[in-house]
Amino acid sequence: MIRELHNQLVSGAVTATTLAQKYLTAIEQKDGELGAYLTVSRESALEKAASVDESLKRGEKIDLLAGIPGAIKDNICIAGERATAGSKILDNYIAPYDATVIERLKKSGAVILGKTNMDEFAMGSSTETSAYQKTKNPIDTERVPGGSSGGSAAAVAAGLAVWSLGSDTGGSIRQPAAFCGIVGLKPTYGRVSRFGLMAMASSLDQIGPLAASVEDAAIVFSRIAGLDARDATTQSWNGKPFEEYLTGDVAGLRIGVPTEYFSKELDPRIRQATDTALEHFKALGASVHEISLAHSQYALPVYYILMPSEVSSNLARFDGIKYGLNINDQKDSTQETSGLLETYLDTRRYGFGREVKRRIMLGTHTLSAGYYDAYYRKAQKVRALIKKDFADAFQKVDVIFSPTTPEAAFRFGEKTADPLKMYLSDIYTVTANLAGVPAISFPIGVIEEAGKNLPIGGQLMGKWFDEETLLRAADALERQFASQKSN
């Protein structure tokens, strides 16, 4: 879609202003029901679109992404824009600077329509923990869009943005992409700068694109990737746009299928869809190999030790003093202001939601004296073993394929009473974050439930800093599915 819209802009068939207005109108008409956006930046979007139109009038060459409307998850800073991370504790926070990814998007000429809803501080798998609203799945509005980047996924799926950015700590790009029937890419840890991303778990967080196609995701990814002096984890790359690797050719590609991801408990309909996808890969000339990721069975407990530990540390900065909510500001002149300790406690008690408090307490307990060695240190050792499993597997195969989720989108309220059920939504995705490898989710079929065709996502995981192969494989399968539909 991005390339097609770019060609229309260059040919004069449409203007960037008209295109932006079209999406802003769609947001006005549809988003009241869906709740994908927390903030709509109408004026700045139209201003940026007008500047792209001026460039075209002057005969200047524009970037592929110039004038193309997109949306940004509300935990990524845009200078002068509200940035809540879906939390009341940041209800009044205006970002004073641009995240690196925003700087790069602005430089490319991309039009940013607004900020999207999310689970509070990215803690959730359904967008139900947002302090503001529930985002509905455009496929079935009685179901969740996934999380924590649910607003970003719903915006793209509903045609309220061409592309969007999300963040992925344990599956928060890929799971909502699967639930909403679109593409979501979690890059290699260190491929995209985290500067300007509100930290949840710093060793796991990564920013990535959501889009309607693999090519669109690759185009956005090319504009945000690369070295950044403000994020020491980032690495340089050769600069060749990732969309140029999408040849459709996967002949000779070795695809690994981990036995641990295909247990008897897996929904047989999802198993059938993944088997069909693998048959398509074979038809394209790829080979399929059974592999083992032996320590993946420990991934979820390891993740729910390490992630809350980092949450406990990162969220300590929200104390009611530096920025965001101060509980004393909520009191009238007749009420006594709180002392320093009370300000800390009252601000956090009022400002944080239930799930955020739960994870802070879990992490604080894990890091406390007497438990650090028993939990945190041991979990780090198992994380090293999980990473080694991937390194060993990539000696034999080029990419690893699995379902993205163990189920299709579930109904609102179905898992909120039992946190463990909600955490299990990430069972196939957390390993990529723990190992730091890139992973992509893309549609591979549907499940029919109550008269609705609910999307199923397939997941490919690749070698560190080898997004080229990952995107090429996903794109080839996407083309195969598209050619089948057209026949």
Which residues contact residue 409 at a Cβ distance below 8 angstroms, ignoring those fewer than 6 apart?
Answer: 137, 139, 140, 143, 144, 145, 146, 179, 180, 454, 455
Residue 178 and residue 441 in contact, taking contact as beta carbons nearer than 8 Å = yes
Extract the tokens encoding 316.
């300590």
Round to the nearest angstrom and report the end-to-end CA distance of the chain. 21
Residue 183 and residue 134 in contact, taking contact as beta carbons nearer than 8 Å = no
Query: What is the topology classification, in CATH, of domain 2-245?
Result: Amidase signature (AS) enzymes (3.90.1300)
Smallest Cα–Cα separation from 440: which of 415, 474, 399, 487?
474
Please give the distance of CA 286 from its chain centroid, rounded to a whole number: 28
The model's pTM: 0.96
Smallest Cα–Cα separation from 156: which of 205, 220, 99?
220
Q: Which of 108, 125, 152, 172 is catalytic?
A: 172
Active site residue 148: yes
Active site residue 172: yes
Q: Which of 148, 164, 193, 296 is catalytic?
A: 148
Long-range (24+ apart) CB contacts under 8 A made by 346-350 are 346/320, 347/89, 347/318, 347/319, 347/320, 348/89, 348/318, 348/319, 348/320, 350/88, 350/325
Q: What is the pLDDT along the chain (487 residues), one digit of tens a residue?
A: 999 999 999 999 999 999 999 999 999 999 999 999 999 999 999 999 999 999 999 999 999 999 999 999 999 999 999 999 999 999 999 999 999 999 999 999 999 999 999 999 999 999 999 999 999 999 999 999 999 999 999 999 999 999 999 999 999 999 999 999 999 999 999 999 999 999 999 999 999 999 999 999 999 999 999 999 999 999 999 999 999 999 999 999 999 999 999 988 889 999 999 999 999 999 999 999 999 999 999 999 999 999 999 999 999 999 888 878 877 776 665 666 667 888 888 888 899 999 999 999 999 999 998 899 999 999 999 999 999 999 999 999 999 999 999 999 999 999 988 888 888 888 999 999 999 999 999 999 999 998 899 999 999 999 999 999 999 999 999 999 988 777 6
Please state, in angstroms and as integers, the Cα–Cα distance from residue 158 to each residue in 26, 29, 154, 368, following that order: 9, 11, 6, 45
Burial of 394 (0-12, 13-18, 19+ CB in 10 A): buried
